Amino acid sequence: MLAAAQSSNITITGKINPSHNGEKVTLIHGSSLSKIAIDTTRVINGSVVFHLVNTEPQVANITMGKNRATEHISIFLAKGDINFTTTDSLKNAVISGDKLSEDYSRMNAPLVLLQQQNYYYAAKLAAIPADKKETEEALAIKAQLQDVKLRTTAATYAAIDANPNSYIALYMLKSISSTVVYDTAMPHFSKLSSELRNSAEGKALEQRMMLVKDLRNGLTAKDFESITPEGKKLSLHDVTSTAKYTLIDFWASWCMPCRAENPNVVKAYTAYHAKGLNILSVSLDTKAENWKAAIAKDGMPWYHVSSLLGFKEPAAMLYGIQAIPQNVLVDAHGVIVASNLRGDALMEKLMQLL
């Protein structure tokens, strides 16, 4: 079993076709966003070498040349040295050495093909002018992207279920469950070996799933009360009682994915508020001025609350929120009808309901 806090010195050695001599090869690694590191070297006599010190278990990415979307491989850094060999493209490299690195390469192989499809459709969509993003052509590409996303999720779960004894299965489940949905994650967690489930990381993941067990569709959302930007108390019930549906939106001014999602939430509110949609945004900010400035800048004309306690916000703790953005959609009686709806998925759900 790989300990969660284990760190190791690792050497990565690559054998690449000598025709690439002189080309720059980049290693991007880091166990969290705050620890991202970028190392570079050059292909010399068909070889590259990276030496990593005190490296925690993680996925690292190696790129070469100008087209990183295709000249790219992902490797798992565990505790042993790693070798990769390719006679042509970096994406076709064969991984050997550390057992967990080999496991990851094998289990990740179906996902690589889907990742290439995602790059392809994303590039096609990006090439369409902003004022034509809702044309038939653009919508067809968006549908393809959504299909690739669903197939990627299915392929990831299939790899997890087929390798219940490998630590990589637990690692993948943790990664895909960064925003945990109990009914989705628990069936796959239960298929892992008892050793993995009872490990420190396994128990931590199970605890996260249990925290959100009460957020399943059909259950009644727990009521809470917090403070508005004007300093007044406002409860969830106060908001749900005045609308057909209410979106409980967990976010923060410092959360870049949240800020990127806010235009989609504004779009949904603009389209459906008159038809019965309310939004109650719960901020995990700690500074009132940042919170209020972000509300104004992002144009969010709905209900807002925050105790300015960060992740210790009582409402967030009540809902088991450990990552943002997240949201929960409830009806007028407070019954949960959906959760973690992003982008087009939010609009599609509201279209069905309203």
CB 267 within 8 A of CB 347: yes
The pLDDT of residue 2: 53
Q: What is the CATH topology of the domain spanning 8-97?
A: Immunoglobulin-like (2.60.40)
Angle at 145 between CA 139 and CA 146, to 5 degrees: 90
**Identical fold between 8-97 and 217-353:** no
β-pair type (245-251, 277-283): parallel
Helices (H), 5-135: 99-126
Domain 217-353 homologous superfamily, CATH:
Glutaredoxin (3.40.30.10)
CB 215 within 8 A of CB 320: yes
Per-residue pLDDT of the chain (354 residues; tens, 9 = 90+): 554 446 789 999 999 999 889 999 999 998 666 678 899 999 999 999 999 998 888 999 999 876 655 678 999 998 889 999 998 888 889 999 989 999 999 999 999 889 889 989 999 999 999 888 889 998 899 889 989 988 998 999 999 999 999 999 999 998 886 666 788 889 999 999 999 999 999 998 898 888 778 778 888 999 999 999 999 999 999 999 999 999 999 999 999 999 999 999 999 999 999 999 999 999 999 999 999 999 999 999 999 999 999 999 999 999 888 889 999 999 999 999 998 888 888 999 999 998
Domain boundaries along the sequence of the chain? 8-97, 120-211, 217-353
Kindly calculate the radius of gyration of the chain based on its CA atoms and give it in whole angstroms.
Answer: 23
The pLDDT of residue 322: 81
CB 98 within 8 A of CB 78: yes
82, containing H or E segment: strand 82-86
Can you read off the two tokens belonging to residue 212?
Answer: 């959100």
Torsion angles phi and psi, residue 137, rounded to 5: -65, -45
Structure letter (DSSP) for residue 276: T
The pLDDT of residue 146: 86
